[in-house]
Amino acid sequence: MKITYDTAADAAYIQVVPDIKPGQSAEQIHSIATPGNRGEIVLDFDSDGRLLGVEVLQAGDVLSAEVLAAAERPTGA
C-alpha cells in the first residue's frame, strides 16, 4: 500500500495494489461523502471490479496529520 498527498490540491491517494498502469482504472465510484461532509472519497476499480485505490479529496480535513506527513509527495508537487 502506498499513500501520496498533493498539498496544492489537498488530495491524497491510497493505492492498494503494487502498481497501477495507465488506463487500468476502468470504473470510479464518486461522491462518497465523509461524516460531516468534510471531504469526498472516490474509489478506483479495474475492469474485473478489483479495488485499485482510494482518492481522498479535502484530505487535510479527513486524514490525520500523521498520515499526511508520512505520505509521499507526487513529482512536481
What's the number of domains the chain is made of? Answer: 1
Identify whether 39 is part of a domain: yes
Cβ 1 vs Cβ 18: under 8 Å: no
Domain residue limits at 52 = 2-70
Model confidence at 76, pLDDT cuts 50, 70, 90, reads low
pLDDT surpasses 70 at 77: no
CATH of the domain at 34: 3.30.390
Please, which residues bridge with residue 60 across strands?
none
Given this model, what pLDDT does residue 69 score? Answer: 97
Identify whether 65 is part of a domain: yes
Specify the DSSP element, H or E, that contains 52.
strand 51-57
Q: Which three cell numbers stand for residue 47?
A: 475492469
Identify whether 77 is part of a domain: no
pLDDT in tens, 19-71: 999 999 999 999 898 899 999 999 999 999 999 999 999 999 999 999 999 99
Please give the Cα distance from 51 to 17 (Å, whole number): 8
Please give the Cα distance from 73 to 12 (Å, whole number): 9
